[in-house]
Amino acid sequence: MTPEPAPGPTPPGDRATPGTYYGRGLPYLPLDSYPGKLIAIEGTDGVGRSTQIRLLREWLEVQGYGVIETGWTRSPLMRPTIDLAKASNTLNKLTFVLLYATDFADRLEKEIVPALKAGFVVLADRYIYTALARGAIRGIDKAWLRGVYGFAIVPHLVFYLKVDVDTLIRRVLESGGMDYWESGMDLKVGDDIYDSFRAYQNRLLREYGTLTEEFGFRVVDARQPIDVIQNHLRHQIGTFLKVQ
């Protein structure tokens, strides 16, 4: 059998068509220009994603849009397994990546696609870019990881809530501290949890910078007051929905 040519590295964001698969999708689930819209809010911990999503939902619903939220690692199928694996600390980087992909596949088929079909606005709290960033700093092959996530649907809008590392650290500390995985302790950058956390978040921010170029994120300065960010998001989303 002649192998088909492998898909090249991920197409840049501006060439990927929203509402289609990024790469090799699910042959049994063809996407047929569904009426719903997928909006992803990306960013590291402590940038206020969930607050912004809560406010957006309220605003959209008042305007008469049906809204569904989906969050990273929140699938009923995988949540217990991911928690177990984190707790037992047996997770190596490859299984870590694959567990997240499984969780995402579950939510894609059970939440995202049905919602898009039914015409909802889907607000995604983090999207595959979180996995791409975390995978990259753990040394996972980038082309391979993009291939695995080939079944992800290209969002209509991606907002990246961006902060600098000092702000980020202060916010995470204020909000209840760092966990082993989120601080990248598995990477053994250092024994000191603060140093490790700082080094990890620095790498993460650099990676998000690369992804911003690749996928054409709309960057929002997350150091601004909540209402300023919210107004900015509403303006952009409102304009987009009106045009559609």
Partner 1 sequence: MPNNLTTPHSYRGKLIVVEGIDGSGKTTQLGLLAKWLIAAGHRVFLTEWNSSDLVKAATKLGKKKNALTPMTFSLLHATDFADRLLYRIIPPLKAGMIVLADRYAYTAFTRDVARGVDREWVRELYGFAVKPDVRLYFRVPIEMSLERLLARRMKLKFYEAGMDMGWSTNAIESFRLFQSKVLEEYDRVTDEFAMSVIDGARSISEQQHIVRDLVSRAIAEPQPQEAIS
Binding interface with partner 1 (CB under 8 A): 1, 3-4, 6, 23-28, 76-78, 80-81, 84-85, 90, 92, 94-95, 98-99, 101-102, 105-106, 108-110, 141, 143-144, 147-148, 150-151
- The least CB distance from residue 10 to partner 1, in Å, is 13
- How far, in Å, CA of 126 to CA of 147, rounded? 19
CB 66 within 8 Å of CB 122: no
Residue 244 CB-density burial (10 A; 0-12 exposed, 13-18 middle, 19+ buried): exposed
Q: Toward partner 1, which CB reaches closer, 96 or 197?
A: 96
| C-alpha of 183 from chain center | 17
Coil, strand or helix: which one is 125?
Answer: strand
- Of 57, 55, 70, nearest in space to 113 by CA: 70
- The least CB distance from residue 117 to partner 1, in Å, is 15
Quick one: which H or E segment has residue 220?
Answer: strand 218-221
- The least CB distance from residue 154 to partner 1, in Å, is 16
- The least CB distance from residue 170 to partner 1, in Å, is 35
- The least CB distance from residue 230 to partner 1, in Å, is 35
Q: Which single residue is written with the structure tokens 């696609």?
A: 113
Q: Toward partner 1, which CB reaches closer, 56 or 128?
A: 128
Q: Toward partner 1, which CB reaches closer, 5 or 176?
A: 5
Q: Toward partner 1, which CB reaches closer, 29 or 226?
A: 29
- Of 45, 115, 52, 102, nearest in space to 76 by CA: 102
Q: Toward partner 1, which CB reaches closer, 76 or 177?
A: 76
